[in-house]
Amino acid sequence: MHKAGQVNAPVFEELPLALECRMTGQTDNGNIVADIVNITCDEAFLDADGRPDVRKMQLLSFNPVNRTYLVVDQEAGQAWNEGRKLLQAAVAAHAPLAQ
């Protein structure tokens, strides 16, 4: 473990990726809003362009319904494009978006 470079927090060497965040606020329902100020990644988990490749990390996600862990490695869609399609469909149908 060592100190993060941009914030007052520890970084654990055992983790493939670390996001250093600086809290900027909190929503009324308690969600924390923060800016990512630094990203560190083990070189073994970088793609050919030097960007973090989460597929190589074999990250786990907890499924609370079935009390199981899932490996995150399959792309489901492009960020923003999928959300834009949902928004356009809702506007076209004059349906209010669920909050």
Tens of pLDDT along 36-70?
Answer: 999 999 999 999 999 999 889 988 999 999 999 99
Residue 96: its pLDDT value, please? 60
pLDDT at 16 exceeding the cut of 60:
yes
Q: For residue 79, count CB atoms less than 10 angstroms from its CB and return exposed for 0-12, middle for 13-18, buried for 19 or more.
A: exposed
CB 2 within 8 Å of CB 8: no
Residue 99: its pLDDT value, please? 52
Residue 17: its pLDDT value, please? 93
pTM above the 0.85 mark? no
Residue 75: its pLDDT value, please? 79
> Which is more confidently placed, 29 or 83?
29
CB 5 within 8 Å of CB 12: no
